[in-house]
């Protein structure tokens, strides 16, 4: 890059600003300068070997700013991390295909994170978490969206904190950005406890995020405090009532998860085959890993012949088995479907009830499959029967594995103990 005025792409847009920063990177610096005008050269963690040179870290840079907070909004002083690399920084196809201003830049978003200030220097572990999320995105090509949740199964800082999972929110300060290389949204990672994650699964992420916008749990900007020793529901007792009210009135917005699951027919033949889609308008299910989405989307459907089955057996680990309760209470009882997608293969299991558009299982054919995609139709009476039986999974001393059988439905489910997960392996991001 030698021209002071910059290089131009085929559409005539400048690719290198006078500051010698590529246009995509300069756009991120520029929007951050609007908020942090006193920090034009922030602290930075850079990949030693860039991803486009064969390095392991997809994010070229992670910039860190000191935010004074806002007492009026209950926001404490904190460190603010913003990634550079999920969007197109360079505009020369070294990482992302070059797109126009009306399309997403790269993946169309960058991640941010707010960490309560405990000392005068920011820790580097948030950069490791953000790089792990970026590896998952690059390897799976699954997008993260506002409203998603991520089960990490370990303290984010690898210590002893209760903050062991994440919810994804719209960043409250950085507005979506239009650049010559496409548009960029800023998605904030919010650290939460297991109780808060489960509440988001049972109800919806945005509802729980709204409850967390209190001074004791991060304020309006949702600052993560790794030293927080109690969940939202222990600190703010009215939040329990608001959660129950939300679940009762709205059910769950979670339409599916990637999970440890499999199924076989009455002859013992296990499912295997092509990728399937979610049902119309119901939300996307991650194909790899265990990221759970609440937004719209879906994968391409293979045109496969529908088969009716005489009987089926389902296998889940305990974590997925407990989500059957959520699926029945928060989804089917509200007239919605729920999908389990195996993250070790292409198998999918969708639970449906009456009135589900696009379902190929129904009251006359309650067990049906298309390739590896199984649908199980469950009537409202059967929902209550199954709930009464599998509610024992909520008991901490319940002995596993255990097989549940419903002979009238020709359905059985075995729930196995959950194996320990590896939170920093992208294939185990939930």
Summarised one tens digit per residue, pLDDT across range 301-337 is 344 689 999 999 999 999 899 999 999 999 999 999 9
User: Can you list the residues of the chain whose pLDDT is less than 70?
Assistant: 1-19, 272-304, 420-430
pLDDT, residue 275, reads 34
pLDDT, residue 346, reads 84
Entry pTM: 0.77
pLDDT, residue 52, reads 94
Scan for tokens 């109690």, then name that residue. Answer: 230
84 contacts 60 by C-beta, under 8 angstroms? yes
pLDDT, residue 304, reads 67
pLDDT, residue 258, reads 85
216 contacts 224 by C-beta, under 8 angstroms? no
- Gap between the Cα atoms of 73 and 65, Å rounded: 19
């Amino acid at each position: 890059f030698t021209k002071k005025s910059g290089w131009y792409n085929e559409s005539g847009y400048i690719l290198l600003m006078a500051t010698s920063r590529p246009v995509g990177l300069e756009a991120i610096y520029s929007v951050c300068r609007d908020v942090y005008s006193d920090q034009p050269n922030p602290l930075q963690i850079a990949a030693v070997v860039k991803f486009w040179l064969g390095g392991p870290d997809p994010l070229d840079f992670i910039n860190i700013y000191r935010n004074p907070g806002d007492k009026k909004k209950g926001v404490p002083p904190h460190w603010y991390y913003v990634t550079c690399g999920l969007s197109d920084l360079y505009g020369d196809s070294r990482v992302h295909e070059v797109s126009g201003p009306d399309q997403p830049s790269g993946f169309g978003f960058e991640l941010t994170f707010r960490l309560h200030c405990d000392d005068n220097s920011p820790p580097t572990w948030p950069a490791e978490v953000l790089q792990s999320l970026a590896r998952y995105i690059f390897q799976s090509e699954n997008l993260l969206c506002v409203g998603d949740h991520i089960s990490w199964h370990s303290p984010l800082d690898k210590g002893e904190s209760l903050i062991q999972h994440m919810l994804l929110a719209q960043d409250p300060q950085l507005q979506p950005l239009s650049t010559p290389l496409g548009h960029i949204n800023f998605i904030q990672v919010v650290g939460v406890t297991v109780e808060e994650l489960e509440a988001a699964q049972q109800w919806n992420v945005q509802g729980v995020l709204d409850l967390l916008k209190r001074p004791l749990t991060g304020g309006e900007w949702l600052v993560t405090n790794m030293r927080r020793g109690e969940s939202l529901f222990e600190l703010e007792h009215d939040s329990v009532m608001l959660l129950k009210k939300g679940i009762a009135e709205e059910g769950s917005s979670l339409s599916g998860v990637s999970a440890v699951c499999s199924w076989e027919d009455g002859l013992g033949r296990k499912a295997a085959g092509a990728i399937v889609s979610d049902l119309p308008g119901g939300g996307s299910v991650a194909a790899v890993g265990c990221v759970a989405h609440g937004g719209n989307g879906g994968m391409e459907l293979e045109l496969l012949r529908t088969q009716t089955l005489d009987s089926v057996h389902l296998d889940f680990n305990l974590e997925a088995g407990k989500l059957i309760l959520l699926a029945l209470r928060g989804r089917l009882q509200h007239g919605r479907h729920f999908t389990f997608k195996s993250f070790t293969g292409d198998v999918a299991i969708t639970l449906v009830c009456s009135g589900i558009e696009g379902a190929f299982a129904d009251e006359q054919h309650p067990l049906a499959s298309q390739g590896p995609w199984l649908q199980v139709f469950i009537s409202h009476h059967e929902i209550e029967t199954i709930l009464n039986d599998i509610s024992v999974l909520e008991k901490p001393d319940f002995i596993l594995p255990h097989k549940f059988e419903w002979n009238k439905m020709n359905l059985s489910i075995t729930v196995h103990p959950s194996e320990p997960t590896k939170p920093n392996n992208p294939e185990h991001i939930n």
